[in-house]
Amino acid sequence: MMEYSELYLKYDLLLPSKFDGGYLIIAIYEKIKAGEIEEYFTVKEINEILKDISIQFEQDSVRQWGNIKDNLFHYFFRNHPDEPWKYYLTDYAKNVVDLMVNKLENPYKNHPLKKSFEDSFIINFDEITSIDVLERKFGRIFIQGSKKIIVDHLESLEDELRDSYKELNDILQKDEQDATILVKEFTLVFRKFGVKAEDITNAILSKDKFLDNLQSVIDVFYQKMDKSSFLDKTEIVKNINDWERGREVYADLKDFFNSVDNKVNIIRRQINHASEKLSELQEQFSTRSHFRLQIKKFFKLALENTKYTESGVIFENGFPLKPLVFENTSILYPRHYDFNIHTSNIIINIKADENYAFNERLKIVKEIDNQERINNWVAKAKDMLQTRKELIIDELMATIANEEEDISIAYQVASQIVSYASEDKEVVIDIKQELISLDEQNISLWKTRIKK
Amino acid sequence: MENENQEIEDYSFLLEDSVEKHFADINILLLSGKHIDHKFYSLYSILESYEANWQNYYKKLYKLNLIPDVFDGNRCYYLDFWDTGKGKLTDPGRNRELTEMQTIIGLMLWDMYYQKYFDEEKIIHWNDIKNQILESDHREAYKRILFDTVRDSYDEKEWSAVESKFNKTINSFDKLGWVDKQSTQNEELLFEIRPAIHRLSKLYKEELQNFDQFSKQFKNGVL
């Protein structure tokens, strides 16, 4: 990407000011077009043109070719290769003038938008024989030019409409009393809107049709891909690839047309607004223009009776003033301000709650006690397993629950024994799906034997 | 939508969720003189949905007239006094007269509104106002009442004094809903003239309808 800073630096060389060659280039281009001078022109002709320019634009002196020549030779003039005493305009020079002419002349003015669309975006069903053909015709790079035509066309439409609003507003400002004359003038300007609105609608229709057709073409690629399961692998990959490329082309154009739609909507909204205003105006033209006239006179009278003051203006001679509803709802409150007054920290000694401490300690002791008992029971159970070679869990739990009067101890012992048994390969756990409920306890378990 | 002919006696509409949610905004804005049009869509649509209820509310509790009006094809709501008096806003702090400056600038903007009649949004830059003062038919009068002297050009200090007068007035119009101000205090003036600017011609309706008589009386010092 080029640095824009270079544009600032070389601006005078790229676009020389009026009398430093700007007018000269336009005049030479004009004369070549008119056949008054040759494509390759001489210093004598240049000097004559410079003289004409100074007369036409009432300059005190004639700009000297020698003074501006060096700068113009950067981008605008070249020597004839065989006859170096002759010059010609570069393509850049011609393009610059063309660009200016186009901006003012508006080549799209008498060219319907619909036609621009149809010339650039037309698709014949049979012509897209492969994805390459589609990309060459509508791919991102290849469609640039067509897009530009549409964008330029829309821009020129905006320019044209802006001029028309100005014209309409100007007509409205006229002090013309005769409503019929005004309406006639409005209608003349307004006819343009009607034609443009219709053109835009047609253009949108042809755009929609194009997108439809393009979608059908993409669909063909899709179908091909969809049916390719019987083909060999490279063929399948190619078909998928084709479809994806097609989809990309479609997505790109869809994006472009979305932006076109946005622009068109703005233009349409403006046209509609102006048209509404105009029909309102026509319906009540005489009353409104009478009313407007009254207000104008009223305003004039008010201005005549107004006097300057330092702080504003005042009315003289008792020009009437009008009251409005004005009940201001606001609450006045002092702003919060930190006065930075320090208050000393008072430490409050909280007396120990002995009851609470005692109870908490009791809980801890009980917890430790439980832990001990569990450990004892687990040790006992392991011994039993050693000596008897068998443990029946429900019986063990019943014994513990009975002695300790705490089912949770029994439960924890049982779970530790089961996990011990599952870790030791010599110990086998035998579970029968026979539900056993412990007496007086709200717990049930499968019949479980642990054998060694 | 309520039937407009139906006599509404109670305030039960205040219990509707949407009304409860926006009541304070609507009430405060209307009482401060705001003209609420569809630019304040949520508030406008609540006023529209319970139009008769709101009208009853202001009539009974404030003795004010809530007017659904149409200015240049745009509907808007605002509070006005009944012909019989200023109701509960009789207290001098609760109503005010438009100042001379506001009246003059209001009429100027009304005129500019028609200069941009066919534009969908009537956007005004400080430069447009400067042009009015320097180039329009009323330039002599504008210069006389704004600068106290009539010259071809004015220096920066003089312009800045005039701009601050406009700024103050445009701020007050923004509160009324007559314009929609876009610029902040330190930026160059930029705003949109809303159709509600036509309220001004409504305020002077009597004078405008009988303008010839008014102008004659005025010149004879009868007023």
Nearest-CA distance from A307 to chain B in Å? Answer: 5
Question: For testing the chain B interface, which of A308, A327, A331 should be mutated: the one with the most B CBs within 10 Å?
Answer: A327
Tokens standing for residue A380: 């006992």
Closest Cβ opposite residue B100 in set A269, A313, A317: A313
Q: CA-nearest residue of chain B to A317?
A: B221
pLDDT mean by block of 10 residues, chain A; 452 residues: 81 92 94 93 93 92 90 92 89 90 74 79 79 84 82 83 80 67 73 74 83 86 76 81 88 89 84 78 68 84 89 85 85 75 74 88 90 89 85 85 83 86 80 79 80 80
Among B90, B110, B129, give the residue marking a domain's end. B90
Q: pLDDT band for B52, please (50, 70, 90 cuts).
A: very high
Q: Which amino acid is at A384?
A: M
Q: How far is CA B16 from the centre of its chain?
A: 30
pLDDT (average), residues B68-84? 91
Q: Do the Cβ atoms of B73 and A315 come within 8 Å? A: no
Q: Is residue B130 part of a domain?
A: yes
Rounded to whole angstroms, how far apart are CA atoms A291 and A281? Answer: 12
Nearest-CA distance from B117 to chain A in Å? Answer: 6
Q: Indicate if B197 and B106 belong to the same structural domain.
A: yes
Q: Indicate if B106 and B197 belong to the same structural domain.
A: yes
> Tokens 């186009």 belong to which residue?
A102
Rounded to whole angstroms, how far apart are CA atoms A174 and B53? Answer: 45
Rounded to whole angstroms, how far apart are CA atoms B16 and B20? Answer: 6
Summarised one tens digit per residue, pLDDT across range B168-194 is 999 999 999 999 999 988 889 999 999
Quote the pLDDT of residue A127: 80
Quote the pLDDT of residue B140: 93
The three-point CA angle A286-A192-A174 to 5° equals 35
Q: CA-nearest residue of chain A to B137?
A: A300
Among B90, B116, B151, give the residue marking a domain's end. B90
Q: Do the Cβ atoms of B116 and A169 come within 8 Å? A: yes
Rounded to whole angstroms, how far apart are CA atoms A325 and B58? Answer: 12
Q: Is residue B158 part of a domain?
A: yes
Q: Indicate if B52 and B126 belong to the same structural domain.
A: no
Nearest Cα neighbor of A438 from A405, A388, A382, A366 is A405
Closest Cβ opposite residue A329 in set B31, B89, B142: B31
Quote the pLDDT of residue A177: 58
Q: What is the CATH number of the domain that holds B29?
A: 1.10.10.2250
CB A123 within 8 A of CB A212: no
Dihedral of alpha carbons B123, B128, B133, B136, sign: negative
Nearest-CA distance from B28 to chain A in Å? Answer: 7
Q: Do the Cβ atoms of A301 and B142 come within 8 Å? A: no
Residue A114 makes CB contacts below 8 A (sequence gap 6+) with A199, A202, A203, A205, A206
Q: Indicate if B188 and B207 belong to the same structural domain.
A: yes
Q: Do the Cβ atoms of B33 and A324 come within 8 Å? A: yes
User: Which phi and psi (to 5°) does residue A308 adopt?
Assistant: -70, 140
Summarised one tens digit per residue, pLDDT across range B118-169 is 888 899 999 999 999 999 889 999 999 999 999 999 999 999 999 999 999 9
Question: For testing the chain A interface, which of B99, B118, B122, B146 should be mutated: the one with the most A CBs within 10 Å?
Answer: B118
Residue numbers in B near A307 (CB within 8 A)? 145
Rounded to whole angstroms, how far apart are CA atoms A165 and A266? Answer: 14
Nearest-CA distance from B218 to chain A in Å? Answer: 8
Q: Is A127 exposed, middle or buried (0-12, 13-18, 19+ CB in 10 A)?
A: exposed
Among B90, B109, B135, give the residue marking a domain's end. B90
Domain annotation for chain A: domains and CATH numbers: 10-105 (1.10.10), 113-283 (no CATH), 288-323 (no CATH), 370-451 (1.10.10)
Q: Do the Cβ atoms of B31 and A327 come within 8 Å? A: yes
Q: Indicate if B70 and B155 belong to the same structural domain.
A: no
Q: Do the Cβ atoms of A294 and B211 come within 8 Å? A: yes
Helix axes B126-135, B139-147, angle to 10 degrees: 110
Closest Cβ opposite residue A306 in set B100, B111, B147: B100
Q: Do the Cβ atoms of B211 and A318 come within 8 Å? A: no
Closest Cβ opposite residue B99 in set A269, A312, A320: A312
Q: Do the Cβ atoms of A295 and B208 come within 8 Å? A: yes
Domain count of chain B?
Answer: 2
Could you give the ipTM of this predicted complex? 0.85
Residue A39 makes CB contacts below 8 A (sequence gap 6+) with A32, A88
Q: Is residue B71 part of a domain?
A: yes
Q: pLDDT band for B2, please (50, 70, 90 cuts).
A: very low
Quote the pLDDT of residue A284: 65
**Which residues span the domain enclosing B69?**
12-90
Residue numbers in A near B218 (CB within 8 A)? 301, 305, 317, 319
Q: CA-nearest residue of chain B to A162?
A: B119
